[in-house]
């Protein structure tokens, strides 16, 4: 089994899905597979004033796995990416998803937390009645 060096690429699957990931080709028993690490889907979002942003989502949302094997026959096309912006977005996503659930700060008044809904309603009713 031979594995080529990994690289960043946009992969268009025959299903129509377009993913961006770090990939490596692997050959086993006369078949070629693509090893895809942390595949993501990037959507373009247009905001006010012709400002464009990006929405990054995991390719598969119901798994915590980060490595997938795709048969080369299921790929329509693939393009190696040297786009620094796309690679940076991808690396930030991978870094953030790795930290998910860790080191989350507790909600505090300093962060803006004031009360639960019932307490806030009671406070606002008191303010309204006193004015």
Report yes or no on 122 lying in a domain.
Answer: no
Give the chain as a 3 state SS string. CEECCCEEEEEEECCCCEEEEEEEEEEECCEEEEEEEEEEEEEEEEEHHHEEEEEEEECCCCCCCCEEEEEHHHEEEEEECCCHHHHHHHHHHHHHHHCCCCCCCCCCHHHCCCCCHHHHHHHHHHHHHHC
Contact between 39 and 68 (Cβ < 8 Å): yes
> Average pLDDT for residues 93-106, to the nearest whole number?
70
pLDDT at residue 58, as a whole number = 93
* pLDDT above 80 (res 43): yes
Residue 75 is part of a domain; what is its CATH number? Answer: 2.30.30.100
Confidence of residue 13 (pLDDT cuts 50, 70, 90): very high
* pLDDT above 70 (res 96): yes
pTM across the whole model: 0.68
Domain count within the chain: 1
Domain range for 6 is 2-104
> Average pLDDT for residues 98-105, to the nearest whole number?
59
Report yes or no on 33 lying in a domain.
Answer: yes
Report yes or no on 125 lying in a domain.
Answer: no
pLDDT at residue 41, as a whole number = 94
């Amino acid at each position: 089994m031979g594995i080529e060096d990994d690289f960043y690429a946009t992969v268009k699957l025959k299903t129509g899905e377009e993913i961006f990931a770090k990939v490596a080709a692997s050959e086993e028993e006369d078949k070629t597979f693509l090893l895809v690490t942390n595949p993501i889907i990037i959507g373009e979002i247009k905001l006010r004033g012709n400002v464009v942003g990006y929405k990054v989502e995991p390719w598969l949302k119901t798994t915590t796995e980060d490595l997938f094997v795709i048969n080369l026959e299921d790929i329509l096309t693939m393009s190696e990416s040297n786009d620094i912006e796309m690679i940076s977005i991808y690396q930030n996503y991978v870094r953030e998803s790795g930290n998910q659930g860790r080191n989350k700060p507790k909600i505090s008044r300093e962060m803006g937390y004031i009360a639960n809904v019932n307490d806030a309603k009671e406070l606002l009713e008191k303010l309204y009645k006193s004015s």
